[in-house]
Chains A and B, each alone.
Chain A
Amino acid sequence: MKLFDALERFQNMDRRWIFLGMGLSILIPLLVTADCEFKVDERVQALYDTVEALPAGTTVFLSADFDPASRPELEPFFRANLDHLFRKDIKIISATLWEFAPPIVVPILHEIAAAHGKEYGVDYAFLGYKPGKELAIKAIGENIPKTFPVDYQGTPVEDLPVMQGFKQAKDFPLIVNVSAGFPGTREYVLQIQGQHNLTIISSCTAVSGPDYIPFYKAGQLAGLAAGMPGSAQYEKLVWADSEPPPGTRKLATQAINVLNMGHAFIIALILMGNIAYFLTKPRGGDDD
């Protein structure tokens, strides 16, 4: 009887106990770090290989569409990708469709460019934010200088050496999209990928991953890194034989233990909840 009551109480426990457990599952791995091995997903490998295949001196378009809420998931990929591109001497023209992205993107772009000795305007540029969502993506497909007449500092984009010869999306051998949601990868694929036959790679939040897998399988995305595990796998590939530049840490690799514990906690809760449910069910447990 006591066990039955305990199981009943467990099923209806105050959710603050769950919040406490979840909080500890996040906090403990942050304080006690441990290395863990993981394999690289086929989609992340394809993403890495696509960047690796680019010859030095080419220019890519990087749409950094994220905000502070999605920053922990996407900043690690953004940093690793910038490092990957710059060390291969690839030039970057970046822009964003998210109004909260510029204050995050600009300092990281300058920091990693400086670590590689890159010069603003010559090796990279940030064109700023453009409202309009799908309309802005469509306009990037048609005419970038008209869509972004000036960069984020107010310099006419046609005066930037890095912009010479790049007028529309199809002029770039690769488009990188760091996507936290709408507008993002889905809209790039729907609006301009098919029409201009663009090569796009994407880093997205874990929750968007299942949405974008069909695009990868259909060849509309050349690679996909979803969520923190995707970023950690990309970090593993980018810094397989070297260390990150000074000031940059393998953020996603460090955070993977938090995911480990968090997922373990949720799975344990589900299992214990179901055990309690089946043990109490014959005696009038919740069976609706």
Chain B
Amino acid sequence: MRSTIPLIITFFVGLFMVGEFFIPHWRYRIWTAELLEWGLILAAGAYMLGLANLIQVNLPKVMKKERDWGYKAVMLVSLVVTLFIGFHDGQHRHDDGAAYKWVFEFVFTPLNATMFALLAFYIASAAFRAFRARNVEATVLLVAACVVMLARVPMGEAIPVIGDYLPRFMNWIMDVPNIAARRAIFIGAALGAVATGLRVILGLERSHLGAD
């Protein structure tokens, strides 16, 4: 019974939502819009579950002083402090001088931007070590990457003689081989999503219920 009722709900809700694309009547869409709102409420509720899970997983490790407990303690303290000032500042959290805005601008923003900016350094290192013309496939990849990198910036356009042709060649790479490959991936992924969706609706795929 624990899995039968969720399976029945999944079946009817799944079919009903798919039906929206085949029955474009406004009365039908009132109901699908209602279900969407339920979905949004559940999505917001998932944040509460995430919060509880984070505490449930990390707090015992801090209490027992397990490996890396210090990092987990910093994370939990940051969580509590940010949550507290967020609730405290309420609707005024984006105002100048608000503690929440200060935390966002001077703690979160530099950390978040630093993590992303580090990519430039690791990409340079990885490109140097990995881009070797070891065989035909690797050479094609290497040449395409260099052309795109060069043509994407004004420096490529400024190169005498080939400068005019580089952006055209780059556009050809992006518009022809790139699109062909991306569309193949999109269509494959879409067919996979349809198959998975059908398996979920028909109850053949039950991993979302916690079963294998």
The answer to whether A binds B is yes
Residues in B whose Cβ lies below 8 Å from that of A117: none
Stretch in B60-68, B171-179, B204-212 touching the partner: B171-179
CA A130 to CA B39, docked complex, whole Å: 12
Interface: A89 (CB within 8 A):
no
Task: Decide if B178 touches A213 in the complex (CB within 8 Å).
Answer: yes
Please, which residues of chain B bring their CB within 8 A of the CB of A259?
152-153
A9 to chain B, nearest CB (A): 14
Assuming the A-B contacts A146-B37, A270-B142, are A36 and B150 also in contact, with contact meaning beta carbons closer than 8 angstroms in the complex?
no
Contacting A68 at CB < 8 Å: which of B44, B46, B112, B178? B112
Do A131 and B44 have beta carbons less than 8 Å apart? Answer: yes
| Complexed CA–CA distance, A210 and B174 (Å) | 7
Question: What residues on A are CB-neighbors of B167 within 8 Å?
Answer: 39, 41
Partner of A132 from the list B44, B124, B129 (CB cut-off 8 Å) is B44
Q: A90 at interface (Cβ–Cβ under 8 A)?
A: no
Within 8 Å of chain B (Cβ to Cβ): is A250? no
Residue of B46, B123, B174 touching A213 (CB-CB under 8 A): B174
**Chain B residues touching A, range:** 35 or more
B94 at the A/B interface (Cβ < 8 Å)?
yes
Chain B, Cβ-Cβ closest to A13: B128
A286 to B116, CA, bound (A): 31
Q: Which residues of B contact A138 (CB under 8 A)?
A: 36
Contact A274 B101 (CB under 8 A): no
B115 touches A69 (CB 8 A): yes
In the assembly, what is the distance between CA of A69 and CA of B118, in Å? 11
**A103 in the interface (beta carbon within 8 A):** yes
Residues of B within 8 A of A270 (CB): 127-128, 131, 142, 145-146
CB of A277 within 8 Å of the partner chain? yes
Q: Which residues of A are found within 8 Å of B133, using beta-carbon distances?
A: 274, 277-278
List A residues 161-209 near B (Cβ within 8 Å): 195, 206, 209
Given contacts A18-B125, A37-B157, A132-B44, are A139 and B33 in contact (CB under 8 A)? Answer: yes
Contact partners of A260 in chain B: CB under 8 A: 153-155
Q: Does B108 contact A (CB under 8 A)?
A: yes
Are A274 and B132 CB-contacts (below 8 A) given A67-B112, A152-B94? yes
Q: How many angstroms from the CA of A270 to the CA of B132 in the assembled complex?
A: 8
Given A68-B112, A270-B128: A136 touches B40 (CB 8 Å cut-off): yes
Chain A residues with CB under 8 A of B115: 69
Contact B149 A263 (CB under 8 A): yes
A256 touching B113, Cβ below 8 Å? no
Q: Which 7 A-B pairs have the closest CB atoms?
A: A69-B116, A132-B43, A38-B154, A68-B109, A68-B112, A36-B154, A269-B128
User: What are 29 of the A-B contact pairs (CB < 8 Å)?
Assistant: A15-B125, A18-B124, A22-B121, A37-B158, A38-B154, A68-B109, A103-B104, A103-B105, A131-B40, A131-B46, A132-B43, A133-B43, A135-B43, A142-B29, A146-B37, A147-B37, A209-B174, A213-B175, A214-B182, A214-B186, A260-B154, A260-B155, A262-B120, A273-B129, A273-B132, A274-B131, A274-B132, A277-B133, A288-B134
